[in-house]
Amino acid sequence: MNTIPSSIEAEESLIGAMLQNPSAIAIAQSKVRPSDFYSERNRLMYESILSMADRSIGINAETALRYLKENNLFDTISQNDEAYLLRIIDGTTFPQNAKYYAEIISEKSILRDLIYATQNIQKIAYDAGEEDAKEIADQAEKLVFEVTQRRLDNDFSTIKDLIIEVIKTIEIRAKNAKSNDSITGVPSGFRELDKITHGFQPSDLIILAARPSVGKTSFALNVIENIMSNTQSMNFGIGLFSLEMSKMQIVERMLASKARISLSDVRSGNINKGDWPILGKTFEQLSKPNLLIDDSSQLTIMELRGKARQMKYKFAELRKTSKSESDLNIIIVDYLQLLHASAGTRRGGTREQEVAEISRGLKALAKELNVPVIALAQLSRAIENRQGEKPRLSDLRESGSIEQDADIVMFLHRPTKSNKDDLPIEDDKSDIEIVISKHRNGSISDGIPLTFISSQTRFTNKNNDNYRAS
């Protein structure tokens, strides 16, 4: 018969080590929570030692016994079992093995949590009723993910070590400041935007909004190209969810933009002889294992979150089986209004409630995976009645929840063109502005100038576009 995963010997050995050596207490605190103990009396004994340490009470067998009696814990812990106390106090444990004991306790606790999670999953599945099976699958995946995340080490750091690390970071920032490079997050590759954001920051939800055909998708793909080309971020893992365009269309656009070749020529196959070597070089530059693309349509927010977790797992697997150094560093969603809420919300809720669930889900995903999430969004037609005016937060479709959940809201605005049409830009080169209307942790901007080359679907920094005529 299978028994619940546990190691009473490791628990008692760790407590014995803590009674013999103060350094074992620091090691134990960094790796083991009281709830990780399977034995209730071992948990109480562990908590008592931590409490003594917190009160600066000298810890040894004698002071520990006195503390237990003074706090009416002696009978509960000893349970008239003198052998238990003798094993703890007089055991032949080795304090230097405290880390080993702690790791055993932590691992057994994770296994038990997995068992409890699977039992909970079974209960949810049996009690599902009319709930959407995909919702149940998302809950199950989240329960397992929460357990597996605990495998990450949580070693404590001394203030001395932290100060040294902070000083090094400040020195790097000072050096970057002199070279006008103060990027601390994921760089967009657009100079003025990065000056304001310092790069897209972990756990932030960034909304990029515009009317159709202004260039939202092109901008997002250019950000991906820039991340992959920047020496600081070239190994960053990128997850792209394209709900509107196919994977082939995405890659065609990226090739045309990166190679500075007309997208029309790429799609028609009308490639000049001199452009083939450029395409070959571009193919090599983009052929990296750090971009994962999902072009599933009709995704719910829960399905997207599940796929995002799978992307993180995928990068972890790649690190084990190849020379890849990538982790999931940024997620891009094209676009928000094509996502769906849960079946229950769709059945009984309004569109505003659906969008609220989606925006909350995207923000929760950013926090859960600790990565920036860029979500593209459509503007309402209200802006068409204000020709020439810049977009504002109220122009976001179902804007209330999006505005509330987002850390950054930025718009693409064509200052010299009417926003009334949904037609593509006629001129090959045109001016586009990035308007930052909300920035939770920084400043906003009335307009960051960019140049858009429509034939190549490429945004460039103003006056530095390296434009290649087709």
Q: How far is CA 238 from CA 292, 308, 416, 428, 433, in A?
A: 6, 10, 33, 29, 25
Q: Can you read off the two tokens belonging to residue 110?
A: 């994770």
Q: Can you read off the two tokens belonging to residue 333?
A: 């969603």
Residue 244: active-site member? yes
- HEC assignment per residue over 339-352: CECCHHHHHHCCHH
Which residue in the list 103, 131, 141, 244 is annotated as catalytic?
244
Q: What is the spatial distance between Cα 396 and Cα 381, in angstroms, rounded to a whole number?
A: 9
Spatial strand order in the sheet of 429-439? 291-294, 237-242, 328-334, 373-378, 205-210, 408-413, 429-439, 445-453, 458-461
Q: What is the spatial distance between Cα 70 and Cα 460, in angstroms, rounded to a whole number?
A: 72
- Phi and psi angles of residue 83, each rounded to the nearest 5 degrees, phi first: -65, -35
E strands along 283-323, which residues?
291-294
Which residues sit opposite 432 in a β-bridge?
Answer: 450
Q: Rounding to the nearest 10 degrees, give the CA dihedral for residues 211, 215, 220, 226.
A: -150
3-state secondary structure of 329: strand
Q: What is the spatial distance between Cα 327 and Cα 316, in angstroms, rounded to a whole number?
A: 7
Q: What is the spatial distance between Cα 152 and Cα 314, in angstroms, rounded to a whole number?
A: 17
Q: What is the spatial distance between Cα 123 and Cα 128, in angstroms, rounded to a whole number?
A: 8
Q: What is the spatial distance between Cα 268 and Cα 151, in angstroms, rounded to a whole number?
A: 50
On whether the CB atoms of residues 208 and 216 are closer than 8 A, the answer is: yes
Q: Rounding to the nearest 10 degrees, give the CA dihedral for residues 161, 166, 167, 170.
A: 170
On whether the CB atoms of residues 224 and 291 are closer than 8 A, the answer is: yes
Give the residue numbers marked as catalytic.
Answer: 244
